[in-house]
Amino acid sequence: MIEKYFHLRANNTNIRTEIIAGVTTFLTMAYILVVNPSILGKAGMDTSAVFTATAIASIIGTLIMALYAKLPIAMAPGMGLNAFFAFTVVLAMGYTWEFALTAVFLEGILFIILTFFNVRELIVDAIPLSLKHAISVGIGLFIAFIGLQSAGIIVHDNATLVTLGNLGSPSALICLLGLVISAILLALRVKGALLIGIISSTTLAIFMGNASLPHTALVQLPPSLSPTFLKFEWAHVLSVNMAIVLFTFLFVDLFDTIGTLVGVASQAGLLDKKGRFPNVKKALMADAISTTAGAMLGTSTITAYIESAAGVAEGGRTGLTTLVVAALFVLSLFLSPLFLMVPAAATAPVLILVGTFMMEPVTKIPFSDYTESIPAFLTIIMMPLTYSIAEGIAFGMISYVILKALTGHHKEITLVMYILAALFTLKFFV
């Protein structure tokens, strides 16, 4: 039945590989169960309720992606979007978290409409193939940068912005050991290399005091959703500020999701010769529905997770991978002490190595054609430097349209690309 539904043999995979891939993806993104309540808690939200909302919204989005879109891409509240929710809308602009939650709900509804009428799919198809390959490479650098940061190997510096951290610190040592173990196992073609690396790093972290075994009961009922469930505020729904907040949520989520879908699909070998991949509309609908549901439950925007690339690197190719992720999110509701004991330093090696895997599409970029290679390079380099997938895509699209239009290649630019470049330009300068 599983073979018939997910077409495992046709995708050159099997049940064991998909399970390992799902566990790996979950472990690399489980941090969201801790980080999201912490960030939204700063906006005044009940952190226990946000934990439950985060898990359930992730389950909903990931299940839709698994059973409807059948893609190995997991869903959860997006980092960056939750920070915008808490620090900009609530703390900087002075609105309530209920106001911000209402904006997320409206964003989800609009995304459902845009997806139903194929607007989002049209945008995905309009992105040139060279930029699609660049998006994958850029995400690889971005995800590796996140891993290096989370382990304290790369740290902030007032003079140079970033610099090498203390390699003798516990978190750096844990990461470096996990990196060596995982890299050796990968070189030896050992199945589950990344997962073994995470387990090894976590074990070391426990011995070094950077992680501890749960001191409370492993099995616990999930906290109540009542403090955040359906807590919307409609008083300012027609205000200019609501329009600004809603537009920002829409814009960032749209291109973060598209970038992640294209990047992970490219790594998984799901793109055809024209850069299209199957079930993209269904994947976008999963994003839209889960964002709407997440707002109702009490969490910020749900989006496709770049950490899904870790599962793809382990061989995940179908929705069975994400079905495993959804099952583990269900378990996390009741076994949160066990899942949350894995420190960021233990998952950092996976993110670094996944960055390596995502470099391969760079060989498919035509570097001899500067109207293709320069926009591709800007897409790649701006993702980690701006800490945003969306900003990287923006630089790539704007430069692509400008170079093609001013060098006699305007026929290669689609109407959708002109519109997108114009919108990105307005976002930067208006």
pLDDT for 191 equals: 66
Give pLDDT, residue 277: 67
- Residue 71's pLDDT is 85
Helix, coil or strand: residue 329: helix
- In this structure, what are the phi and psi dihedrals at residue 68, rounded to the nearest 5 degrees? -100, -55
- Which of 53, 28, 270 is CA-nearest to residue 147? 28
Domain boundaries, the chain: 2-365
What is the reported pLDDT for 340? 65
Q: Which of 119, 111, 112, 124 is nearest to 277 (CA)?
A: 124
Polymer length of the chain: 430
| Rounded Cα distance, 373 and 368, in Å | 7
Whether the model pTM is above 0.75 = no
Query: How confident is the model at residue 162, as a pLDDT?
Result: 93
Whether the Cβ atoms of residue 36 and residue 45 lie closer than 8 Å to each other: no
Residue matched to tokens 């009741």: 334
In degrees and rounded to multiples of 5, residue 219 shows phi and psi of -95, 120
> Long-range contacts made by residues 375-379, C-beta under 8 angstroms, separation at least 24?
375/128, 375/130, 375/131, 375/134, 375/399, 375/400, 375/403, 376/130, 376/131, 376/133, 376/134, 377/134, 379/131, 379/134, 379/135, 379/138
Tens-level pLDDT at each residue, the chain (430 residues): 787 787 787 777 888 888 888 988 888 787 778 778 877 887 888 888 888 899 999 999 999 999 998 888 899 987 767 777 887 778 777 888 898 898 889 989 988 998 888 777 777 778 888 887 887 788 788 878 888 988 899 999 999 999 999 999 999 999 999 999 989 988 897 766 777 888 888 889 988 888 777 776 777 888 888 999 888 888 777 877 777 777 767 766 776 777 777 777 776 677 666 666 667 788 888 888 999 999 999 998 888 887 787 788 878 888 889 999 999 999 888 877 776 677 778 878 877 887 887 787 888 899 999 999 999 999 999 988 988 777 888 899 899 999 999 999 988 898 888 988 888 888 777 6
The DSSP element (H or E) to which 77 belongs, if any, is strand 75-77
Q: Give alpha helix (H) positions in 272-318.
A: 280-297, 308-313
Question: In this predicted structure, what is the pLDDT of residue 266?
Answer: 73
